[in-house]
Amino acid sequence: MGNQGTAAASGTFKIGGDLTVNRLGYGVMQLTGPGVWGDPADPEEAVRVLQRAAELDVTLIDTADSYGPFVADHLIKKALYPYKQDLVIATKVGFTRSGPDDWRPVGRPEYLRQQVELNLRHLGLERIDLLQLHRIDPKVPLEEQIGELALLRKEGKIRHIGLSEVTVDQLKAANEIAPIVSVQNLYNLAKRDAEPVLEYAEANNIAFIPCFPLATGALAKAGGPLDELAARLQAKPSQLALAWLLKRSPVMLPIPGTSKVAHLEENIAAASIQLSEADYEALSKLGQ
């Protein structure tokens, strides 16, 4: 199999009906300092991780202006510019940062516009393929937040609009203002509160990007059921968690993050794991 060991083995999905990506992507949040603030401990390894991801057929890289802030964007440009034609860089706006682990939603139209312009500059892009609203700001009418992104799309600065950490009702309301092609919510084997959002996304062919896809926590402890299944299938618990996500839904686009090349390679190898129905069901029962 030519795709063995690369992200191509995960199959493809068309975001917005026209952006084809390999379903197993890469999220860059861990390529920053502690608290997602400042530079990483090893900037050279961060560049190597990004370059290795591209070598392993990762065609979806997920970032945000708030990662660093802008540290991750600069690393992406340093590692991968000029970009391959099939690479989709998804980014997010809507948070402001004042220090490590401090995240404050700001959805004022002029702020969202400024951040889109800065994303374009820092990434070296003329258009952002997928721009996601990092959080809906409760202090600003949704029509103003999505409306500004729709205006930027009309101006050709954004190709598609996505949302992050929303309910089904919020997703529906935003979709009335402008077409929403993706949603990024917390979802993994151990935590599935976003199940209704995933079901809505699947029914409407909206990409579902699970953040923290590897947070398997207590499920992966030594001697536990996930550990036992991993031993039998000669895989790591984290690889099974990714394989389960890929099998869970055709609209699922996991973006596991890491700051180490070896861990990246391990994650991407999960694309080649074919879970049997029995193993999939056994894993599904673990998180309930």
Write a three-state SS string for 71-95.
Answer: HHHHHHHHHHCCCCCCCEEEEEECE
Residue 24 phi, psi dihedral angles, 5° rounding: -90, 110
Report the C-alpha gap between 269 and 143 in whole angstroms.
Answer: 42
Point out the residues that are catalytic.
67
Report the C-alpha gap between 10 and 246 in whole angstroms.
Answer: 7
| Both structure tokens of 225 | 């059921």
Contact between residue 117 and residue 127 where contact means Cβ atoms under 8 Å apart: no
Nearest to 248 by CA among 272, 288, 281, 287: 281
Report the C-alpha gap between 67 and 35 in whole angstroms.
Answer: 9
- 272: number of CA atoms within 13 Å, CB side? 16
Residue 159 phi, psi dihedral angles, 5° rounding: -95, -45
Contact between residue 19 and residue 10 where contact means Cβ atoms under 8 Å apart: no
CA triplet 110, 87, 161: central angle to 5 degrees? 35
